[in-house]
Amino acid sequence: MALGGKGSGEFRNPGKTERRLSGDEAAVRDFLEELAQSGHSPRTLMAYRRDLDAFMRFLLLRGKGSPSDPSIDRTLALSYLFDLEQREYRPRSVLRILSSLRSFYQWLCRKGRCPSNPFEDLSGPRRPKTVPAVLTEREMATLLENRPGNSWEDRRDTAMLELFYLTGIRLSELAGLVRGDLSPGMDRVRVRGKGNKERMVPLLGVTRDLLQTFLHEADISPEDPLFAASPGGEALSIHQIGRIVRRRVRLSGLGDRGVTPHTFRHSCATHLLDRGMDLRKIQELLGHQSLGTTQKYTHVGLADLRRRYDQIRRKDVSDDDQGR
């Protein structure tokens, strides 16, 4: 089933040759179409689709003919969560699936197709608290300055990674940039975040200079991707950008640090916080809806502070031993 964008109508495929959809399929189609119209991304819609398809298969194995079957209750919902746990789904995945099913049943109840939401009050596994991996400013500078050559691809990658780090935008936001997102003075870039919400992010110093140099030789229209796989070609995918990041990590000798594309965003936020930037400003820059999401970077700063303190303490002890 094709996934469309906002108001695309691509969940519907009218025509004389269209096969008749079952009630369940039509319900899922209508639900996803409504999500598409409300601005959910194709990637999010694909996740909903996979989650709902898997649950439908589970219902069939349990002899349930429809998700609106009144016998589907909290006990069966708990059974499904237990089944996911037995199949060793990660807590993050279980929470996403639970969210998908809760939303679907809320929609069914609102449409009068289901008497109650069996997933309403269920809580999934507790998500483990993780401190995002970050690089120090010196390590990030090393990564960005280790440039393999001066080809068109090398200049593209350098400009792209500088923008990635110094703006702290998401990987999907980076991949979706087009030439027209840059302001005329190339001092700001328009970023489309989650739910198609737009924000303007400043471009300063070396990032703007590298973009100006890279784009000076490229004759592209406002609708063309800012970072294409080849001159005049399609936009780099998030997977291609991931490979570019891994290549630069190898060149910089940071291969043992577990650097991923998300490290750029985490490092940007942490470095801004370390330099005294207000947490609310960081929240606005990163496009976080909740300040609580941004506050995790304070924990990153504390973790790094503890690590540096431990290093200093070990050094002091070593110096004392040598002085005896």
Tell me whether residue 275 is one of the annotated catalytic residues. Answer: no
Q: Which two tokens stand for residue 143?
A: 């990564």
| Residue 247 falls in the annotated catalytic set | no
Nearest to 67 by CA among 99, 96, 25: 25
Q: Considering 170, 248, 266, 271, which one is annotated as catalytic?
A: 170
The yes-or-no answer on residue 194 being catalytic is yes
Catalytic residue among 48, 80, 165, 297: 297
Sign of CA dihedral 222, 226, 232, 238: negative
Assigned token pair, 63: 């002899």
From first to last of its 324 residues, the chain has per-residue pLDDT tens of: 444 444 444 444 434 334 344 556 788 889 999 999 888 888 889 999 999 999 989 988 888 867 888 888 888 999 999 889 888 888 888 889 999 999 999 999 998 888 889 998 888 777 665 656 788 889 999 999 888 888 999 999 999 999 999 888 889 999 999 999 999 888 889 998 777 788 888 888 888 888 888 888 777 888 999 999 998 899 999 999 999 999 999 988 887 678 889 889 888 888 887 777 777 777 777 776 655 555 555 555 544 544 544 554 455 444 445 555
Active site residue 315: no
Annotated catalytic residue within 29, 113, 262, 296: 262
CB 42 within 8 A of CB 2: no
From 96, 192, 248, 265, the catalytic residue: 265
Active site residue 243: no
- Partners of 191 in beta bridges: 199
Catalytic residue among 113, 188, 194, 246: 194
Would you state the torsion angle of the CA atoms of residues 169, 242, 95, 192, taken in this order, to the nearest 10 degrees? 30
| Residue 309 annotated among the catalytic residues of the structure | no
Alpha carbon distance 173, 179 (integer Å): 13
